[in-house]
Amino acid sequence: MTNNEIKKNIHWVGAVDWNIRDFHGYSVYKGTTYNAFLIMDEKIALVDTVKKTSYSDLLHHIHQLTDPEKIDYLIVNHVEMDHSGCIPEIIELIKPEKVFCSAMGKKTLLSHFHREDWPLEVVKSGQTISLGKKTVHFLETPMLHWPDSMFSYIPEDRLLISSDAFGQHWATSERFDDQVDNAELMAHATKYFANILLLFSPLIQKLLAKVQELNLDIDMIAPDHGLIWRKSPGQIIEAYDKWSRQEASAKAVIIYDSMWHSTTKMAKAILNGLVKEGISTKLMNLKVNHRSDIMTEVLGAKAVIFGSPTLNNGILPSLADIMTYMKGLKPSG
């Protein structure tokens, strides 16, 4: 088995974006990946595509396995442009028999690309398709994190292809969780959840309950970004359960900005007082900390303290920025 063969006859054919540093306002200091998967069976299926700028990488990886024109099906788990940007080119090239997507996926594809001639076929939770020896089961996951989102599950391989859930933004040459440092992997996964999925915590709790109800046998989770969970898929499922419960720990985060250091002095005084009481505390100056890194620290915090000098009878714009960002993600605890 090669590094890109994640299960027998199932291959990673995605792209690594080494240079991206901003992902619609979210800092990605170590790049990201756009994961796509090719299932080689009696019917060949491509699951998801990549960002348009990475189309050549997708084609390169497919060509190493087969002639792209031999692909029978395209499965679209998620229509956001980092996973669907090159769909027009792919459909034009492979001319698939069918393109499987959710009802909202069909609506969004038509809205994006205006191609009524595409062979779009809507699938719902519980529906399956046979590829030959392998089958694909579909599970709709609306608002995780777009209305169109869904999972694809291959029971013969105990493989869950999880779209934008369970991912991380981390560009690596490695494909699996057991090939990288676990602490760094979980740090990236935490940041991903805190900035992308935290808002949808109640839905995640319902999804995890549904997965348990369906009794899915999962020994690998392949998200659309980052490393594939081969060694410990249970670790990330347990983490999502914990994070989405938003159970706060004895931790405080002090977020501040300062003009002439007076607010800095007050922030440090509060820090010292909290630490003296045995409370784990983070001091985060907005001049040197990105909003997405701050949000990662806010996840699970019992107290969040803001500090700003007065500017034009109000707070500094940097404080308004982080407070607006945080309000949208709805942390609780």
The residues that are catalytic are 24, 78, 80, 82, 145, 164, 192, 225
Assigned token pair, 73: 């099906």
Q: Coil, strand or helix: which one is 43?
A: coil
Neighbouring CB atoms inside 10 A of 206's CB total: 13
Angle at 228 between CA 13 and CA 209, to 5 degrees: 120
- 320, HSE (Cβ side, Cα atoms, 13 Å): 6
CA 269 to chain centre: 37
Are the C-beta atoms of 246 and 215 separated by less than 8 Å?
no
Sign of CA dihedral 60, 62, 67, 73: negative
Given the structure tokens 């900035």, which residue do they identify?
Answer: 195
Left (φ > 0), alpha (ψ -120 to 50) or beta: where does 302 sit? alpha
CA R_g for the chain: 22
Are the C-beta atoms of 223 and 166 separated by less than 8 Å?
yes
Q: If you count them, how many residues does the chain have? A: 333
Assigned token pair, 288: 């040197």
CA 23 to chain centre: 11
Which is nearest to 36 in space by CA: 1, 2, 70, 86? 86
Q: Where is 251: in which H helix or E strand?
A: strand 249-256
Q: Coil, strand or helix: which one is 136?
A: strand
CA dist., res. 329 & res. 105, Å (int) = 24
